[in-house]
Structure 1
């Protein structure tokens, strides 16, 4: 518990606030004020509406929060890379939303059961049917999962839990008819490409920094109390 409250941990965790700041721009684009496109495919017509899948869809919020907290605690390198990828992913999504806004045609739902009421109140009622491609729900779920898989200090059982959570959330976006298959696939492709690029840049920077540190240690003059081998 002390490690979770340490200054180093809390200071690193402040970096994740950038996700919240980026999220402020979401509402500005979540409308149909521009030319709107529909990307529905035959697969989406075949997939059923399952109102109870609103539960894992809403579970995206604790999944992301827990994922960020856990990654920051277990593997600081994977944590920073994940936050950077999430931010870059948001920038790309916002750019697409502005120039190529998409929408989803929602089915008519009668709130005669608890799951349908949950769907209408907490999914359809909170989020407009825009900003669909790529899906931020799917994108951030995938990136958190990717960060967990890249972490060297996380057990396989925990990684499996992250995989299961991400898959369930991504599927839920399709089964509550909030997104279509292209939204999910686009998010996964975007997240993977950006994660690979950031990881390569991060590793190159780390190697260069280690090399500079090693060279500095070799050229550092010895202290007066040290023996010098000639």
Structure 2
């Protein structure tokens, strides 16, 4: 893991230094993240009721109560993915492209499964009008309850964790 060193100016100063030394390659790497957006468009096209939807809920799912507070880690996930893509784009081009390849190929694989075997889960009825419930409603209004398995969130989280923990410096 990256170790913050006060005597060297800190993490942000080091990042600025890396970017200024290699900004053309950093920009090229970040432009490549457009491939994730393209896969997301494919996902969006498949994220609809297209007839038969296979409910993948289990008894274990039914035994776990809905917790609106878990919307916070769900939202943080987007920052987690964005941060590490940016981090590797700046510090390690090889890891960046390997991670990007893993995410894009994984998303495409998931989309193939979503096309041939659409899955879904029933969502709970939301009660209340607090900020957490409003955030859940916002997510629900922008993401249909389809194509939940395999999980692209889990795919990305596992890939990033693997690359971060691959050696002592992410």
TM-score greater than 0.5 by the shorter chain: yes
Q: Looking at CA atoms only, which structure, 1 or 2, has the larger radius of gyration?
A: 1
Q: Find the counterpart in structure 2 of residue 134 from structure 1.
A: 150
Q: Find the counterpart in structure 2 of residue 4 from structure 1.
A: 19
Q: Find the counterpart in structure 2 of residue 76 from structure 1.
A: 93
Secondary structure of 1:66 counterpart: helix
Q: Displaced runs of 4+ in structure 1, greater than 4 A?
A: none
Answer with 16-25 or 94-103: which moved more: 16-25
Is contact 1:75-1:153 (8 Å) kept? no
Cα RMSD of the aligned pairs, angstroms, is: 1.5
The aligned length equals: 153
CA distance in 2, matches of 1:151, 1:70: 15
Is contact 2:18-2:91 (8 Å) kept? no
1:98 maps onto 2:108 in alignment:
no
Is contact 1:78-1:147 (8 Å) kept? yes
What runs of 5+ residues in structure 2 fail to find an aligned partner?
1-15
Higher relative contact order (CA 8 A, sep 6+): 2
Give how far 1:2 is off.
3.7
Secondary structure of 1:32 counterpart: coil
Give how far 1:74 is off.
2.5
CA distance in 2, matches of 1:8, 1:115: 40
What runs of 5+ residues in structure 1 fail to find an aligned partner?
155-230
Give me the TM-score of the superposition, normalised by structure 1.
0.62
> 1:41-190 residue pairs with structure 2 within 5 A?
41-121=58-138, 123-151=139-167, 153-154=169-170
Give how far 1:152 is off.
5.2
Give me the TM-score of the superposition, normalised by structure 2.
0.83
CA distance in 2, matches of 1:42, 1:77: 42
1:7-27 Cα deviation digits (max 9, x unpaired): 122222222221112211111
